[in-house]
Structure 1
Amino acid sequence: MTSTPTAAASVAFMLGHPVAHTAMPAGVNAWASETGTDAMMAPLDLPPEALAGFLQALRGMANCPGCVLTAPHKQAALTLVDRASAAAEAAGGVNVITRTATGELVGDNTDGAGFVAALEAAGGVPRNVLIFGCGGAGASIATAIAARAPVRLDLVEADPDRSAALAARLGAPAQAIAAPASLEGYDLIVNATAVGLNGEGMIHDLDGLSPGAVVADVVTKPAVTPFLKAAEAKGARIQPGAAMALAQIPLVRQAFGWGNSIAPGYGMVARSCFSILRNWVRVLRHAAGLPPWTVRMPSDRAFEGRKGGSMSITKMTRRAWLAGVSAIAAGTMTLAAGAATANDKVTLGALRFTSHGAGFVAFEKGYFEAEGLDVEFEFFQAAQPIAVATASGDVDFGITGVTGGLMNLAEKGALRIVGGVLHEKAGYDGMMIMASNQAYDAGMTTVDDIKGHSVAMTQVGSTFHYMTNLIADAKGWDMGEMKMVPLQKVGAMVAAFKSGQTDVMIMVPHIAKALTEAGAGHEIGWLNEYAEYQISTMITSVDNIENNRDMVERFVRAYSKGIADMNRVFLDGEAEEGELEELTQMIAKYVAPDQPYEKAAPSIQAGAMYLNPDMALNKTDVAAQMQWFKDEGLVDSDLTVDQLVDGSFVETF
């Protein structure tokens, strides 16, 4: 459904000087058009000297719920509103003003919440932080990060008095410093200044930047600034400025009374709010000679013809940033139509792992079809983005590890675990603990030797992160003694391990065994020697649980049949004649689509792992994992296991 505003529309303004670079009006208007909401946001290039007069006039605009502000108006607006929120006071600036029915102006600051929400899309907020710029956006971001208990929060500002004042307001560990020559030791670097606007200049030369660090910019034009482009070339993850703006749209909608219910259902929000960002990024990266953007954006599939609606070319989406939206507002509108359509087309998010093979077998053997489900697969390169995509509605079900990102989304009412999939179990091959050739040759030949060495993982709060903790805990080590290296994708983990950039890797057996057989690494142990735990689970949205329970039950039944076949054929030695070859061929189509079958088959057969029969879930272990993530400050301390798990679909233990 699309629509245009009427004469009765609720009209908000985006104020800035300049304002043409801002992303929020396009995002809001795309959402309003897509949902049929009679509302719009108009950009207004307003010089600083005109701000007071405009805000005075705003008091009498009956059909205007308020305005959003960008530079240079945020600090001045704080002195012009009638009252301000604690977030605005702490940040020293206002970026959202709401007009009440009596004409009172109320100021708020959502920059920090939007910025942190976008970070949470990838599984959490890094804890060693450097922020350039302590103006309105920088102060708000610093305030939001300070609330997440960082280990280090360094503030750099051209006006040292401003950074000192902000550090004093925030307290330790925030400190005002001069611009460092090297970025070594920081895992989040933020440009909260205007440097880079229109593609001009960089706030730092990025010397000492660690691969896998997050580099973020608040500048929205160009979408990929020179700072971000250079950071990505050095192996960093990047977060563009539009992310912070667009992740605030649900908060702005609530402030302006544009559908402020908090309910799950994210697909339409994803399509509309992030369509402009995706197109900007595609065009600008192509013009810059960069490859297609896969950083922190988990899905390449647009939404044309899916879920009962046909999207135009400008209504596409990639859902990395909407995990932040979901984490802030747990879906800002109820979309019953967002559930599976009449023909029950559903999408399963998965990795190209043998351990995800039950879904491939269930599809190839017709188990899904027999339950009236038309299943398609969406493949990812790490576990945490699957949770993001499930919360946003990009996929209906996800097979994913119990990650920090998943837990944060569950705490916001976005999704639940509904079944168990992969479980470490003694007597069966599981996750192999590996030493790189370089580290092994230097004397790291047992698990006892890995303390203090670099360990590859996808992201902070990932399953790889937690697995390392299990080993450290069993050995009596502190996690602070482990050097964790976030590399975003499994492929990047393998590449860093093979080249000796990381010393240790914990990996699924179909990949690990192939590496050891090729002489690209050494087996030094197995995770199940130290712990048996619930590695991966099946997740779905709360919207599906509440509005499509029958579909969830049918999906669980079909997937469970795939698990039964996998365990029987690969683990129990009960395969009928030709059945081992049959299932291997089915799985190879998905796990190794670019490899000759003869090359892929041995690693697939050797890489089978123990899968939970009937998808029974080790809820006790999930609760233990949740507690560790809480203790590490990676998950909201208010999360309960019953918010995380819906135990009504399978047996729990």
Structure 2
Amino acid sequence: MTLPYAEVIGDPIAQSKSPVIHKFWLEKLGIAGDYRKTHITADGLEAFFRERAADPAWKGCNVTVPHKQAVIRFVEDRGGVGDSIGAMNTVIRLDDGTLIGTNTDAAGFYGPIADLDLAGRDVVVIGAGGAARAVLFALSRAAVGEVTILNRTRETGVELLRHFGLKGKVLPLDAPIPPAALIVNASTLGMTGAPDFDPDLSDQPDDCVVYDIVYAPLQTALLAEAEAQGLETVDGLAMLIGQAAVAFELFFDREPPRLFDEELRKLLTA
């Protein structure tokens, strides 16, 4: 009998730490199952989902860059995720082979900052891709003030502000970052193999929180600069573990044992 399994797909995929997280939880709970990482290009998405839909052992997958928007056309969207967030990072397989897409990024992103009072306060978001969509969706529910998006393409950022009903503006990536209560890097900038993102944060208020969703490396240039300025930071593992926890329960029908988060973080940073 083939063990039940899930996986993470992307292009590239070597940097993914998702298998470490899910295998850690499977072992802690004594579940006989597996979690893998699979390199899939954009051209291979359709064939991938067709093959997995026919495999009863497959529980689903997480989706990372650059496929979070492309997967929408290959799965059912029963929760209206395509219209609301506009990106999916999780696909689950039902017993009849139906594939359902959803998004656990928004909850994973917001969990570590849920105690912040962002109502009416300005926020800066770097990037306008699939992860940024989840971030902006969560921020739109937090009644934030103006949102400044830094992105290469102004039109994309403007459309995202409109889509999520947010007031704000779009600036180039190299523009000075305006003072904000929260700065979120929702792009791949700073990731291993990508250009660094090392802005000047000297004008930020003392209570500004800097949140970088990049986790490879864990200490990005952005977070290093924030710490040098004495600002509070949130690293990429916080969101990674948070979104994985929601996905794990969807895949394996068990809540992950979050009491071991510190042990898991040490494992991920070893």
TM-score (structure 1 length as normaliser)? 0.39
Q: 2:187 corresponds to which residue?
A: 193
Q: Distance in 2 between matches of 1:235 and 1:180?
A: 22
Shift of 1:249: 2.6
Residue deviations 1:554-579 (CA, integer Å, cap 9, x gap): xxxxxxxxxxxxxxxxxxxxxxxxxx
Of 23, 27, 32 in structure 1, the residue corresponding to residue 26 of structure 2 is: 32
Would you say 1:124 and 2:116 are equivalent positions? yes
Name which of 254, 258, 261 aligns with 1:269: 258
Secondary structure of 1:22's counterpart equals coil
Which residues of structure 1 form unaligned runs of 5+? 1-6, 261-265, 284-653
Counterparts of 1:599-638 in structure 2, within 5 Å, are: none
Tell me how far 1:207 sits from its aligned partner: 4.4
Please say which of residues 186-195 and 34-43 is displaced more in the overlay: 34-43
Name the counterpart of 1:253.
248
Per the alignment, residue 57 of structure 2 pairs with: 63
Please show how residues 38-437 of structure 1 align to structure 2 within 5 Å.
38-120=32-114, 123-124=115-116, 126=118, 127-179=121-173, 181-198=175-192, 200-202=195-197, 204-259=199-254, 268-271=257-260, 273-281=261-269
- The Cα offsets for residues 16-74 of structure 1, whole Å up to 9 and x where unpaired, read as 11222223221111011011012221111222221121011111110111100000111
* Cα drift, residue 183 of structure 1: 3.3
Q: Deviations over 1:493-541 (max 9, x none)?
A: xxxxxxxxxxxxxxxxxxxxxxxxxxxxxxxxxxxxxxxxxxxxxxxxx
Partner-residue secondary structure (3-state), 1:83: coil
- The answer (yes or no) to whether the contact 1:93–1:136 under 8 Å persists in 2 is yes
Asked if the contact 1:85–1:109 (Cα under 8 Å) also holds between the matched residues in 2, the reply is no
Q: Contact 1:153 / 1:173 at 8 angstroms: preserved in 2?
A: yes
| Counterpart residue number, 1:564 | none
Please give the per-residue CA displacement for 1:274-330, whole angstroms capped at 9, x wherever unaligned. Answer: 53423444x5xxxxxxxxxxxxxxxxxxxxxxxxxxxxxxxxxxxxxxxxxxxxxxx
- 1:157 Cα offset (Å): 1.8
Q: Please state how far the C-alpha of 1:177 moved relative to its aligned partner.
A: 3.9
Rounded Cα–Cα distance in structure 2 between residues aligned with 1:220 and 1:246: 11
Mapped contact 1:95–1:108 kept (Cα < 8 A): yes
- What letter matches 2:10 in structure 1? G
Cα 1:94–1:61 shift into 2, 3 Å: same
Q: CA deviation at 1:154?
A: 2.0
> 1:404-553 alignment to 2 at 5 Å?
none
Aligned residues: 267
Rounded Cα–Cα distance in structure 2 between residues aligned with 1:174 and 1:92: 20
Check whether the contact 2:152–2:173 (CA below 8 A) recurs between aligned residues: no
The code of the aligned residue for 2:234 comes to Q
Deviation at 1:209, TM superposition (A): 2.5
Q: Percent identity?
A: 25
The alpha-carbon distance between structure 1 residues 72 and 203, as it changes in their structure 2 partners (threshold 3 A), is farther
Higher relative contact order (CA 8 A, sep 6+): 2
Unaligned runs of 5+ in 2: none
Q: What secondary structure sits across from 1:162 in the alignment?
A: helix
Structure 1 segments, 4+ long, off by >6 Å, are: none
8 Å CA contact 1:87, 1:140 repeated in 2: no
Rg: which structure is higher? 1
Tell me which moved more, 242-251 or 176-185: 176-185
- Counting helix residues as a fraction of each chain, which structure ranks higher? 1
**Separation in 1 of the partners of 2:33 and 2:221?**
35
Q: Which residue of structure 2 aligns with residue 445 of structure 1?
A: none
Change (3 A) 1:255 1:81: same
Instruction: Tell me if structure 1 keeps the 8 A contact 2:7–2:60.
Output: yes
Structure 1 residues 50, 203: closer, same or farther in 2, change over 3 A?
A: farther
What is the rounded CA distance, in whole Å, between the counterparts of 1:27 and 1:270 in structure 2? 13
Q: In structure 2, what residue type is equivalent to 1:270?
A: L
Q: CA RMSD in A?
A: 2.2
Amino acid corresponding to residue 227 of structure 1 in structure 2: L
What is the distance in 1 between the residues matched to 2:36 and 2:248?
14
